[in-house]
Structure 1
Amino acid sequence: MPREVRYCRPKSQPAETVLSFFARKFTYLSRDAWKHHLSEGHVFINGAILTEEDYVLQQGDQLRFAPPRSLEPRVDEENIRVLFEDASLLVCAKNGNLPVAEGGRYCENTLIGVLQRRGSGAFHTADTVVGGAVAGCEANKVTCEKMHAYVAADAALTLKAASSSELPDTHLKRTSPSVSPSAKRSREPTPPHAVAALPTQEHRAVPPAAPPTLLTVQRLDKETSGVLVLCRNCRAAKAMASQFESQTRKCSAAVEARVTTSRAAFTNEDFDRIVRQSEKSVGKTYMAVLLGAAPIGATFVVVNYMGTVESHPAYQHDTAHSQLKRLKMCCEPLFSPLADSEGPKEDSLQPTQWGKVACTRVRVLTSSELLGLSCVQVELLTGRSHQIRVHCASLGYPIFGDKLYTSVSRGKPDGCVAAPDAVYLARVRNEDDPFLLVENGAAFGRRVWCRRHLLHATELQFVHPEKHPASAMRFVASPGDFFTRDVRWESPADSNSFQVLLSEAFEQYSTANRVSV
């Protein structure tokens, strides 16, 4: 959907042109790119097309950015699976090349946009539960092995939905009646199928229905695959958001209380105790592939303070991170050494006065010295941005394919480092061939290319927001084929070994978490 923003600036700030505003405020596009959008009629002001880049903005101006969908980066619109839907919710498993909702360069090439254009039925499988037929949803599992049987059915549904996906953008999204369509779009020739559908005097066409409402209550990064829930009405969305927020708030407070009252190491037992005291019906669990062969069965609990690079004193004058300083995250230990302290070690530490507490548990399910990789289960007690990626990198085992974060020392808990702006942007904008050679390889001498970071939301639990009596729901999606489609190995033997690694990891996960495979 188009972006809208009302212009407002402090009186102490000088006036600025519309081009300067867009280039300063929305840095995901270059100044030249914004010039192009203005000249093409993709920007509206107070309902009228604006092509003059030197227009000086006035307080209260209503700006609208509505580029054609064809200009957005390509996404994977096929590998989506609807696990459950009823009048209140839609639960699905998305791929790792699809943002959930609009943001940055994406307006309509999103999970919500795809579901609205093509309809959720295009992504049903034989395991999809529709309506309230299943109260507990314990049987609703999606695994790599099962899904191979549904590829042909999905392809047929895709062909059936193709005609609706070819309709002009004006038929696919709500538009404000006060805003005129782009002059460029109005000059485009009418597609042949649209000519055949023009109403006659006797038969007038029914106006296209508004796209179905789908509201986000949780978000996965564009490159994070897995299970998430969308809501079909505001009441359900409010109830779902309240569940997730309440769980995170309680767990975060418990972690904060623990680290402020004791300087002892935060243990696995501390993590379990907080989980037991929290709401057991609400939870999220992830699986990830990490660079480095960690010890099988090892459990790491990471607790530290996290915040944006922008807020960290060490980065105040670092030009390498200035453009994306609000996106990048960094972390600091709970306690830092006192300056000029000569006393005992325990007395030479002071609490870190920066960031918010973050707590992650990483369990190694399988690992391979041959490939130089590990597959892990990840649980969170807090919900900081990029928390899993930063904490895994800080352990010395960065997530395989992560374009932004890496470790200071591989295999050692020496901290996390973010890539400079120029390096990261070059990686994410390599759209001609998004598969990037993994630097330093998965293991010595083994060449492998990866399209995205291999992080997957494997399990989601919550209470249905509009069922009475309360109905606990649980959904599990294996990361297997979501991961393998995004990795290319030079050696077929390595590719097979990678699939075995993932299969064994999910088997371990299923056994430990009582999942029926």
Structure 2
Amino acid sequence: MDVYLAERFTYHSRNEWQNLVGEGKIQLNGRSSRSSRRLVKGDRIEYDTGDITEPEVDPGFNVVFSDEHIIAVSKSGNLPCHPAGIFFRNTLWRLLSEKFGKIYFVNRIDRETSGLVLLARSPAVAAAMSEAHSGIVKKYTAVVHGKFPDACNAVGFLTDGVCSAVRKKRKFYQGARLGEKDEYSETKFRLLGANGGLSIVEAELATGRMHQIRATLCSLGFPLVGDKIYGRDETIYLRFIEDAMTDDDRSLLMIARQALHSSSLEFQHPISGEKLVFNAELPDDMKKLLAAT
């Protein structure tokens, strides 16, 4: 069991999971167990997280649209979409569940990405929209370092396991696929403006891969402003998770979170077939970033 927990939930080491099992905070099928217990199909693991203090978040969100089938919201730039790692109560999922009941994410964005998120209010609608996911036009606004070209269609692959101090960091490359597990990726970029060594870029996703925009921009040589992993110094992330960031780190980042905003969603309503277009205005922190440069 400890091996499974350490590989699946990496916010604790194997030894830490063993200690939690020994303390009785991990139960298997409703009972205390040994960390060496071999898991079988159908086993249920429960983790008592009652004594864990979750980091503070910005719980702000605006409901852009809702009916009996779907919900569209615009969230803050410091709010996880769904429970993961140390976050459970301080998530958009919990906030919306308290307001609407059961909900199902159609798309998700990073904790530090602000803007539009689409949800379904039933498993059937969620499944229908998942199948039609390629028909959802998703556009983001990003602020990057450097002078970005007028347009760029980045077609290639995303790979894991790059030579990096940050284990989950990905890399985008173009050309022939090098690894069997590398994922095809396509992002259409368009320059919106430039200001003081920074560029404002629109990114339209043709595929939806983890860290797609952030990793692609970094690999193209235009790192996202404020990005602790894909920005100008990835070691900032290592200090961030240890709560050891310096004033120099904050100065280099220029903004407290990654300057990425989910700005537009366009799709057909899964039931009525009506064309829907939602837009979310750039948040204040990104406006201030641009005004200060």
The normalised TM-score by structure 2 is 0.85
Q: Which residue of 1 aligns with 2:259?
A: 454
Do residues 465 (structure 1) and 270 (structure 2) align?
Answer: yes
Q: Is the 8 A contact 1:434 1:451 kept in 2?
A: no
Paired residue secondary structure (1:112): helix
Structure 2 gaps of 5+ residues are none
For residues 58 and 40 of structure 1, do their structure 2 counterparts lie closer, same or farther at Cα, with a shift above 3 Å needed?
closer
Q: What amino acid maps onto 2:96 in structure 1?
A: L
Report the secondary structure of 2:153's partner residue: strand
Question: Partners of 1:454 and 1:30 in 2: how far apart?
Answer: 31
In the other structure, the counterpart of 1:430 is 243
| Max Rg structure | 1
Deviation at 1:55? Answer: 3.9
2:29 alignment counterpart: 46
Partner of 1:81: 62
| Helix, strand or coil at the partner of 2:216 | helix
What residue identity is the alignment partner of 2:55?
A: P
Residues 435 and 429 (structure 1), Cα distance of their counterparts in 2 relative to 1, 3 Å cut:
farther
* SS of equivalent to 2:209: coil
Q: Secondary structure, in 3 states, of the residue corresponding to 1:437? A: helix
- The residue identity in structure 2 corresponding to 1:454 is A
Which structure features the higher share of strand residues?
2
Alignment of 1:284 with 2:76, yes or no, is no
Match of 2:11 among 19, 28, 33: 28
Query: How much has 1:352 moved relative to structure 2?
Result: 4.1
- Find the aligned partners of 2:96 and 2:275 in 1 and give their Cα distance: 25
Name the counterpart of 1:331.
172
Tell me the C-alpha RMSD between the 2 structures. Answer: 3.0
Q: CA deviation at 1:33?
A: 4.9
Give matches, 1:66-145, under 5 Å: 66-68=48-50, 71-77=53-59, 79-117=60-98, 119=99
Partners of 2:247 and 2:270 in 1: how far apart?
39
Q: Is 1:238 matched with 2:154?
A: no
What amino acid maps onto 1:358 in structure 2?
S
Q: Give 1:75's aligned amino acid.
A: V
Contact 2:115-2:261 at 8 Å conserved across structures: yes
CA distance in 2, matches of 1:438, 1:378: 26
Question: Once structures 1 and 2 are overlaid, which stretch shifts more, 92-101 or 354-363?
Answer: 354-363
Is the Cα–Cα contact under 8 Å of residues 18 and 35 in structure 2 kept in the other structure? no
Q: CA deviation at 1:32?
A: 6.4
**Where does residue 404 of structure 1 map in the other structure?**
229
Could you say if the C-alpha distance between residues 69 and 218 of structure 1 is closer, same or farther in structure 2, counting changes exceeding 3 Å?
farther
Give the gaps of 5 or more residues in structure 1.
Answer: 1-17, 121-211, 248-278, 310-314, 335-350, 408-417, 442-447, 485-494, 502-517
Q: Which residue of 1 aligns with 2:204?
A: 379
Q: Which amino acid aligns with 2:145?
A: L
Aligned-pair CA distance for 1:294: 3.8
Q: Map 1:317-356 onto structure 2 (within 5 A).
A: 320=165, 324=167, 327-334=168-175, 351-354=176-179, 355-356=182-183
List per-residue Cα deviations over 1:203-248 (Å, max 9, x = no partner).
xxxxxxxxx110012111111111111111111111111111xx2x
Distance in 2 separating the partners of 1:94 and 1:368: 26
The answer on 1:498 being equivalent to 2:287 is: no
Structure number having the greater helix percentage: 1
Q: Cα distance, 1:83 vs. partner? A: 0.7
Alpha-carbon displacement from aligned partner over 1:377-404 (angstroms, at most 9, x marks no partner): 1112222221111121122211101111
Alpha carbons 2:22, 2:35 under 8 Å: kept: no
Report the CA distance shift for 1:478/1:332 in structure 2 as closer, same or farther (over 3 A): same
The code of the aligned residue for 2:204 comes to E
CA distance in 1, matches of 2:25, 2:65: 37
How many angstroms does 1:433 deviate by?
Answer: 9.4
Per-residue displacement from partner, 1:115-143 (whole Å, max 9, x unpaired)? 223x26xxxxxxxxxxxxxxxxxxxxxxx
SS class of match (1:71): coil
- Relative to structure 1, the CA distance from residue 385 to residue 398 in structure 2 (aligned partners, 3 Å threshold; closer, same or farther) is same
Identity %: 30
Q: Give the total of aligned pairs.
A: 289
CA distance in 1, matches of 2:274, 2:286: 31
Question: 2: CA distance between counterparts of 1:69 and 1:435?
Answer: 33
- Quickly say closer, same or farther: Cα 1:106–1:89, change in 2 above 3 A: same
Quickly say closer, same or farther: Cα 1:37–1:452, change in 2 above 3 A: farther
3-state SS in 2 of match to 1:97: coil
Q: 1:319 to 1:391 in 2, by over 3 A?
A: closer
TM-score by length of 1: 0.50
Judged with a 3 Å threshold, the aligned counterparts in structure 2 of structure 1 residues 473 and 431 are, in CA distance, closer, same or farther, namely farther
SS of 2:193's equivalent? strand
| CA gap 1:227/1:24 in 2 versus in 1, 3 angstroms | closer
